[in-house]
């Protein structure tokens, strides 16, 4: 994993975009170049960690396995079946293997012997089956329903072995486990008691257990003596608190009020580096994007989508939202990706934009749409900057509607919007590009449903070799640019900042921080 020292999206923007999109990635990374303390890990002490979002439940199906959606909390309570490697492979944790012998139609999940939930009951294949079947039930309202729906059936072979049959072959399905809540297993007995009882006493097999949870305040966790990977976790205690305000997060870490913070603000990263604080940032493909709803007018007309894309100057967005420190997502795949190509996602062409706007007006369809924004200042800035840029053209009108957070998140289900900010960022493109752009996916916010796009995605999913995958994704990339259902605005690079003496920053997937690796020098 290449490490970067700058980020491109503020916390609030990413948290909201993740709510509409879906996290994804792969790739486990060790401590970055600025890790604070050096030497061997030190056991003991308390870590104080700042989150980007306030949990509304501790249900592993509802927490999101991404940096802006409480991944570190899920990892703390439930541990991980597996994580990703820098080369796109898988590193096994509570699972010993996840193998297929028929090109991805069926998999065999093998668990470690002797895994225990924090209450002493066994974490076995039956527990995994219960959790994965539960994720597939629409009534659960799981954030990773799309990934879970790829599973046709699960069968317990013995205490440590689960046979998994997929709807269609997906050789890289391990990436879906790594980057989603399929990775977290809660106690079936505890989950069956209902949401209120589970939130009061969540039972998992992670490195920490819940001591207390004061809503809108502190989550206090203590070391799990039954954690499988002793002597981890190194910390005896871990206290988490939400800090959505950018300056508050940085100042709290700087002044010693917190030991580390999940971070996505370029300003905070700059300040942290200048102050000598430790930082660690992931480098991912994809990014945040402007989603145009192709299900209805005006963006069911490809000319409208192409006109908006050609009109936008992404450097102007960068200056307005990120003070010029952002990195536009000019290419779908990062330089570090084996799927990297030279296909440009976006090109500003104001003359072409005006020509298309005029064509639409001449056909009696002058472009007029509403940009639905989340209530965060950053999201509003994106919407208002795009509104201002398009306002310089004739025959186009943009209104900005600021929605309440619950209404905004519901757009993924209701599709009642013209344009909004969402996301698709990842290291390995499986499963994110499929869930975001396949015509039948529930997570396809722009609603694009095109045979060429769908076929390329299907070919990429079914491909057995990296070369075959690369060929299919290159076709997909060109089709995406031609259809233009989204405009990628910026890369997203999940990170952390930490006080002096704090180390052990290991992230996987989409900035999913592993709390068992954190340690503080005495």
For the stretch 242-273, pLDDT in tens is 998 888 999 999 999 999 999 877 778 778 88
Report how far residue 264's alpha carbon sits from residue 340's, in angstroms, rounded to the nearest whole number.
24
Give mean pLDDT, residues 10-19.
49
Of residues 464 and 222, the one with the higher pLDDT is 222
| pLDDT-derived band at 24, boundaries 50, 70, 90 | very low
| pLDDT-derived band at 58, boundaries 50, 70, 90 | very high
| pLDDT at residue 7, as a whole number | 33
Report how far residue 65's alpha carbon sits from residue 511's, in angstroms, rounded to the nearest whole number.
9
Q: Which residues have a Cβ under 8 Å from the Cβ of 139 and sit 6 or more positions away?
A: none
Q: Which helix (H) or strand (E) holds 77?
A: helix 71-78
Instruction: Tell the CATH topology of 285-490.
Output: Dipeptide-binding Protein; domain 3 (3.10.105)
Number of other residues whose CB lies within 10 A of the CB of residue 266: 26
pLDDT value at 170 more than 90: yes
| pLDDT at residue 20, as a whole number | 62
Alpha-carbon separation of residue 250 from 11, 263, 269, 327, 506 (angstroms):
12, 9, 9, 21, 20
- If you average pLDDT over each of 6-20, 79-93, 102-116, 486-500, which comes out highest? 102-116
CB of 412 within 8 A of CB of 20?
yes
Residues in the chain: 522
pLDDT value at 5 more than 60: no
pLDDT value at 324 more than 70: yes
Q: Which helix (H) or strand (E) holds 240?
A: strand 237-242
Report how far residue 181's alpha carbon sits from residue 76's, in angstroms, rounded to the nearest whole number.
13
CB of 203 within 8 A of CB of 187?
yes
pLDDT value at 393 more than 90: yes
Closest by CA to 293, choosing from 421, 409, 394, 407, is: 421
Give mean pLDDT, residues 470-487.
98
Give mean pLDDT, residues 28-57.
75
Q: What DSSP letter does each residue of 491-514 carry, written as one string?
A: ----EEEE-TTEE---EETBTEE-
Phi, psi of 250 (to 5 degrees): -65, -50
Q: Break the chain into its structural domains and give their ranges.
A: 11-282+493-520, 285-490
194 phi-psi bin (left φ>0, alpha ψ -120 to 50, beta other) = left
| pLDDT-derived band at 305, boundaries 50, 70, 90 | very high
Give mean pLDDT, residues 264-286.
85
Give mean pLDDT, residues 280-288.
90
Angle ∠(68,340,311) on CA atoms, nearest 5 = 70
| pLDDT-derived band at 18, boundaries 50, 70, 90 | low
| pLDDT at residue 2, as a whole number | 32
| pLDDT-derived band at 37, boundaries 50, 70, 90 | low
pLDDT value at 30 more than 60: no
Instruction: Tell the CATH topology of 11-282+493-520.
Output: D-Maltodextrin-Binding Protein; domain 2 (3.40.190)
CB of 90 within 8 A of CB of 170?
no
* Residue that is written with structure tokens 């209902």 in the block: 194
Question: Could you tell me the two tokens for 302?
Answer: 């490809």
């Amino acid at each position: 994993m290449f490490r970067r020292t700058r980020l491109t999206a503020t916390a609030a923007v990413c948290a909201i975009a993740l709510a509409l999109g879906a996290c994804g990635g792969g790739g486990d990374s060790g401590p970055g170049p600025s890790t604070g303390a050096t030497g061997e890990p030190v056991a003991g002490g308390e870590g104080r960690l700042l989150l980007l979002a306030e949990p509304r439940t501790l249900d592993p199906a509802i927490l999101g396995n991404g940096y802006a959606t409480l991944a570190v909390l899920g990892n703390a309570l439930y541990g991980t079946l597996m994580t990703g490697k820098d080369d796109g492979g898988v590193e096994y944790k509570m699972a010993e293997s996840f193998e297929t012998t028929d090109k991805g139609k069926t998999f065999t999940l093998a668990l470690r012997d002797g895994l225990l939930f924090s209450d002493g009951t066994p974490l076995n294949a039956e527990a995994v089956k219960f959790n994965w079947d539960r994720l597939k039930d629409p009534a659960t309202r799981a954030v990773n329903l799309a990934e879970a729906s790829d599973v046709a059936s699960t069968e317990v072979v013995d205490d440590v072995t689960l046979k998994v049959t997929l709807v269609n072959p997906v050789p890289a399905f391990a990436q879906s486990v790594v980057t989603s809540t399929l990775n977290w297993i809660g106690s079936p007995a505890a989950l069956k008691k209902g949401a209120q009882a589970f939130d009061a006493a969540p039972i998992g097999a992670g490195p920490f257990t819940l001591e207390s949870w004061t809503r809108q305040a502190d989550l206090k966790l203590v070391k799990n003596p039954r954690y499988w990977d002793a002597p981890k976790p190194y910390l005896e205690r871990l206290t988490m608190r939400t800090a959505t305000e950018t300056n508050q997060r940085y100042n709290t870490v700087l002044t010693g009020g917190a030991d580390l913070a999940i971070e996505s603000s370029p300003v905070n990263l700059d300040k942290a580096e200048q102050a000598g604080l430790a930082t660690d940032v992931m480098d991912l493909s994809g990014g945040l994007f402007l989603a145009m709803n192709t299900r209805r007018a005006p963006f069911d007309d490809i000319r409208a989508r192409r006109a908006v894309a050609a009109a936008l100057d992404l450097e102007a967005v960068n200056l307005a939202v990120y003070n010029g420190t952002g990195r536009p997502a000019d290419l779908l795949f990062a330089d570090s990706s084996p799927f990297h190509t030279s296909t440009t996602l976006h090109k500003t062409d104001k003359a072409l934009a005006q020509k298309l706007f005029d064509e639409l007006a001449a056909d009696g369809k002058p472009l007029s749409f509403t940009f639905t924004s989340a209530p965060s200042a950053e999201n509003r800035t994106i919407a208002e900057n795009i509104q201002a840029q398009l306002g310089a053209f004739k025959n186009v009108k943009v209104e900005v509607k600021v929605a309440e957070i619950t209404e905004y998140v519901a757009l993924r289900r209701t599709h009642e919007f013209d344009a909004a900010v969402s996301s698709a960022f990842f290291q390995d493109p499986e499963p994110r590009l499929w869930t975001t752009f396949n015509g039948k996916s529930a997570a396809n916010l722009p609603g694009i449903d095109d045979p060429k796009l769908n076929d390329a995605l299907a070919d990429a999913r079914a491909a057995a070799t990296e070369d075959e995958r690369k060929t299919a994704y290159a076709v997909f990339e060109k089709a995406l640019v031609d259809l233009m259902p989204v405009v990628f605005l910026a890369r997203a690079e999940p990170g952390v900042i930490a006080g002096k003496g704090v180390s052990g920053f290991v992230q996987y997937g989409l900035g999913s921080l592993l709390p068992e690796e954190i340690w503080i020098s005495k």
